[in-house]
Structure 1
Amino acid sequence: MIYQICTQTDPGLVRENNEDAVAFDAATRLCILADGMGGYNAGEVASGMAVAFIKSEMGRWLSHAGRHATAREVRRALEICVENANHSIFNAASSNPQYAGMGTTLVVGVFQENRLTLGHIGDSRCYRLRGQELQRITKDHSLLQEQLDAGLITPEQALTSLNRNLVTRALGVEDTVLVEVNEYRVEAGDIYLMCSDGLSDMVTDPGIAAILKGAGTLEHKAKQLIVEANEAGGRDNISVLLACAKEDAAKRGLLSRMLGK
């Protein structure tokens, strides 16, 4: 499987600074997105630390382990890396009064051939477009999601709830954190979208799906998602990461020749 990956980030129309951070490592197919929180510039410090730490440490491990590391090994390495990133951010917040209480959401994924190992904390999301169907494959760690799960509010009420941005898990806020990790089978043609709530709060799932299913390059689609979020109000920072899986044409051609097709 061949993966094309691109990112876009924008401060939006209301915020002066951008507390999101997003990055990927093409060599190891490691993708990371974080949405920071905290007073002054602490939010962007937390998200920047998370992305830089995980890209460096997890990227180094993947480079040594190779693409043939088992799913179990990748999962464990990811859990350890996130735990270490949490300690780093928590210690920085504890030792610097201006960073007190800072934290960040996190979505981190590792693509290996036809498998995605995906971890997340908070309400930044990952969606998958397969064929004509868009599916959210992460569940928010938020008060709003807990109210929905308990049947206390309806999806329609959730759209205008005052609890939209209250997360129940964040990286760096406490000395320990639980990252939710799941594995998914990747099929050729899949498009994966990681995003901060600056996109998902502004653009509906059908709106996101329409852009991902539309014409144009992956980079064009990423830019269009930012445009749509800003046209809807741009009330928060907006970050997106798109990853598209394609079958290796060279291997497909070799297999066809071997089968005489």
Structure 2
Amino acid sequence: MKSVHYTDKGKVRQHNEDSVGVFSNKEGDCLAVVADGMGGHRAGDVASSMTINRFEELWKAEGKITTAEQAEKWLQDKIKEINLNVYQHSKSNTDCEGMGTTVVAAICTENFATIVNIGDSRGYIFNESGFSQLTEDHSLVNELVRSGQISKEDAEHHPRKNVLLRALGTEEKVEMDTRTIIFEEEDLILLCSDGLSNKVSEEEMKEILTNSDDLDQAGKQFISLANENGGEDNISLAIVKYTPESRNG
């Protein structure tokens, strides 16, 4: 697998509360994670960095992931563990009271990719069928769209756009969405925080991925365009591409 990851505090925020990482286990399988510490809460950066760091520890100790069921169970079990860690930390440290984070993570193997998400950080797939979103935002605005109360266009500028219905670490138990897709040569997975998806359209994302010479160039263009379009939030992304040489390690 080839991969890149980037995070940028943007043009407005004083601090970067996002964390991002891409890790390989002992068998060469890949785990990509983006976490967006909850804005407006103290210690959002603590919640997101705790999440990424623990995922890295757990993944590097993991053996071969051979089935989708194994990948889904691994992600679900580890997120429950990490959620409890973050929640307990917030309860025992007054400086961190109320902290939380979104999370979107993808296990990428030679046969499939399994994606889990909580909150409004997103996962996308770019393959021969085109570019499409794999995750559903756990946000008030997305629920209003799904129930037909507002249009997608209304959602873009809704005053409560940033209200999340789920986050990691804010409660003792957490619900998440998990799905598995076929992952083949030249397919590409993009994970990002809302600092990117709010500022760069799906059409622009597809165009950048189509026209970039390499993943580094694409990642830098994403950050640059999100900042050009306002950069009001932290911007984070991870890209994993299944390259032909992946099969040889």
TM-score by length of 2: 0.94
Q: Is the 8 A contact 1:169 1:177 kept in 2?
A: yes
Percent sequence identity over matched residues?
35
Q: CA deviation at 1:223?
A: 0.4
Cα drift, residue 177 of structure 1: 0.3
1:38 Cα deviation after fit = 5.3
**Amino acid in structure 2 at the alignment position of 1:206:** E
- Residue 106 of structure 1 deviates from its aligned partner by 0.3
Residue type of the alignment partner of 2:238: L
Distance 1:29 1:157, change over 3 A: same
Which residue of 181, 186, 191 corresponds with 1:184?
181
Q: Which residue of 9, 26, 41 maps to 2:7? A: 9
Q: How does 1:22-101 map to 2 (within 5 A)?
A: 22-26=20-24, 27-37=28-38, 41-61=42-62, 65-67=63-65, 69-101=66-98
Distance in 2 (alpha carbons) for counterparts of 1:31 and 1:249: 16
Distance of 1:249 and 1:193 partners within structure 2: 18
Q: Distance in 2 between matches of 1:209 and 1:171?
A: 29
Structure 2 vs 1, CA of residues 23 and 216 (structure 1 numbering), >3 Å: closer, same or farther? same
* Amino acid of the structure 2 residue aligned with 1:123: D
Say if 2:99 is the partner of 1:107.
no
Runs of 4+ displaced beyond 6 Å: none
Q: 1:249 to 1:151 in 2, by over 3 A?
A: closer
3-state secondary structure, aligned to 1:248: helix
In the alignment, is the contact (CA less than 8 A) between 2:33 and 2:103 conserved in 1? yes
Q: Is the CA contact 1:58–1:81 (under 8 Å) kept in the aligned structure 2?
A: no
1:259 equivalent in structure 2: none
Deviation of 1:39 (Å): 5.1
Alignment match, 1:216? 213
The one of 133, 137, 151 equivalent to 2:148 is 151
Mean Cα deviation higher: 188-197 or 21-30: 21-30
Structure-2 separation of matches of 1:7 and 1:147: 32
Label 1:249 to 1:158 Cα distance change in 2 as closer, same or farther (>3 A): closer
Query: Is the contact made by 2:34 and 2:103 (CA closer than 8 Å) also made in structure 1?
Result: yes
TM-score by length of 1: 0.90
- Cα deviation 1:18-73 (Å, max 9, x = unaligned): 00000011333111110001556500000000111112113312xxx324x32212
Unaligned ranges ≥5, structure 2: none
What is the alpha-carbon distance in structure 1 between the residues aligned to residue 36 and residue 189 of structure 2? Answer: 18
CA distance in 2, matches of 1:119, 1:58: 15
Distance of 2:102 and 2:74 partners within structure 1: 19
Q: 1:139 to 1:45 in 2, by over 3 A?
A: same
Which one has the largest radius of gyration?
A: 1
Contact 1:32–1:51 (CA under 8 A) maintained in structure 2:
yes
* Residue from 234, 237, 243 that aligns with 1:237: 234
- Letter paired with 2:48: S
Bigger drift between 188-197 and 224-233 goes to: 188-197
Query: Which residue is equivalent to 1:173?
Result: 170
Contact 2:47–2:86 (Cα < 8 Å) also in 1? yes
Q: Is the 8 A contact 2:110 2:247 kept in 1?
A: no
Change (3 A) 1:169 1:225: same
- AA matched with 2:61: R
Over residues 204-228 of structure 1, what are the superposed CA-to-partner deviations in whole Å (9 max), with x where a residue is unaligned?
1111111111132100100000000
Aligned to 1:258: none
5+ residue gaps, structure 1, are: 252-261
| Letter aligned with residue 33 of structure 1 | V
1:138 aligns with 2:135: yes
